[in-house]
């Protein structure tokens, strides 16, 4: 597995890099880390953010908004760790079933979170889709749990979206780190009920919301993700050599 960290870029540039990595994907899986030039929001390929967000207010607050090359809903990258994983089609862990790919990747992410919190209690993947219950908030990733999302203590901690092409798939993930800013959500969301759903259904790994705690947690999670993905993918490589 190749680990790439493209450091700090605009939201649009980060999404462009993921798209380019998918187009150029060959034999090796890639774990891609990146950071944000400014507080950012990304949205699924087919979503119109102006239908759900006050774009003028986002601009006033200095929040970037960019379209992802994957599907999925709207994600706030102000209190999370965002990352990407790319899996070549020829890898034995690749599946043509998208849900199987979600389960594979999110399972490895849960292993990383388990190391972060030093416990696996109440960590699980959702086995049943509850989409209908949260239909009104379906355009927001962390507002509703869907099948094979990662949960901690009954709340969503992992969100993800994928795009599959001939060469393999791109998985873009988000891990909730600290509590979303209630006032900011209400300020930029057109539907106040969405804010309530995000706060009700999102789990926070840490209590402190200062930038130092957030930065430290992101770095620890990156190391845990590298360890989790490498352990799984390296086990396959060792088997092939036997």
Per-residue confidence (pLDDT) for residue 234, from 0 to 100: 84
Tell me what the mean pLDDT of segment 10-20 comes to. Answer: 98
Report the alpha-carbon distance of residue 84 to residue 18 in Å, rounded. Answer: 7
Q: pLDDT: is 209 or 61 the higher one?
A: 61
Angle between helices 98-117 and 211-241 (to 10 degrees): 120
| Residue 127, number of CB atoms within 10 A of its CB | 8
Regarding the domain delimited by 2-241, which CATH topology (the fold level of the hierarchy) does it fall under? BirA Bifunctional Protein; domain 2 (3.30.930)
| Residue 145, number of CB atoms within 10 A of its CB | 24
Q: What is the pLDDT of residues 105-156, one digit of tens each?
A: 999 999 999 999 876 666 777 766 555 454 444 677 776 677 778 888 888 8
Q: What is the pLDDT of residues 45-101, one digit of tens each?
A: 999 999 999 999 999 999 999 999 999 899 999 999 999 999 999 999 999 999 999
Report the alpha-carbon distance of residue 100 to residue 131 in Å, rounded. Answer: 18
Tokens of 15: 């999404």
Start-to-end CA span in the chain (Å) = 19
Q: What is the pLDDT of residues 152-204, one digit of tens each?
A: 888 889 999 999 999 999 999 999 999 899 999 999 999 988 899 888 888 88
Give all strands of the β-sheet with 40-43 in edge-to-edge order.
64-67, 40-43, 75-77
Q: Where are the domains of the chain?
A: 2-241
7-21, 23-37, 99-113, 206-220: lowest mean pLDDT where?
Answer: 206-220
Could you tell me the pTM of the whole model? 0.91
Q: Work out the mean pLDDT of the chain and round it to a whole number.
A: 89
């Amino acid at each position: 597995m190749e680990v790439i960290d493209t450091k700090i870029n605009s939201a649009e540039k980060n999404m462009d890099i993921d798209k380019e990595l998918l187009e150029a994907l060959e034999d090796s899986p890639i774990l891609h880390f990146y950071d944000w030039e400014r507080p950012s929001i990304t949205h699924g390929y087919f979503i119109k953010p102006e239908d759900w967000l006050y774009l003028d207010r986002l601009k006033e607050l200095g929040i970037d908004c960019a379209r992802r090359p994957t599907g999925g809903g709207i994600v706030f990258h102000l209190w999370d760790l965002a990352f990407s994983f790319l899996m070549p089609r020829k890898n034995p862990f690749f599946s043509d079933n998208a849900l199987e790919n979600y389960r594979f990747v999110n399972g490895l992410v849960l292993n990383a979170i388990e190391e972060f919190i030093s416990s696996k209690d109440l960590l699980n993947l959702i086995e049943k889709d509850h989409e209908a219950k949260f239909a009104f908030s379906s355009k927001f990733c962390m507002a509703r749990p869907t099948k094979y999302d990662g949960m901690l203590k009954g709340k969503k901690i992992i969100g993800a979206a994928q795009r599959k092409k001939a060469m393999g798939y791109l998985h873009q993930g988000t891990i909730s780190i600290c509590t979303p800013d209630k006032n900011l959500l209400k300020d930029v969301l057109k539907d106040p009920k969405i804010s309530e759903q995000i706060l009700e259904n999102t789990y926070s790994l840490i209590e402190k919301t200062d930038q130092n705690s957030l930065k430290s947690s992101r770095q620890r999670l990156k190391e845990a993700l590298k360890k989790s993905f490498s352990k799984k993918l390296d086990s396959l490589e060792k088997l092939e050599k036997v």
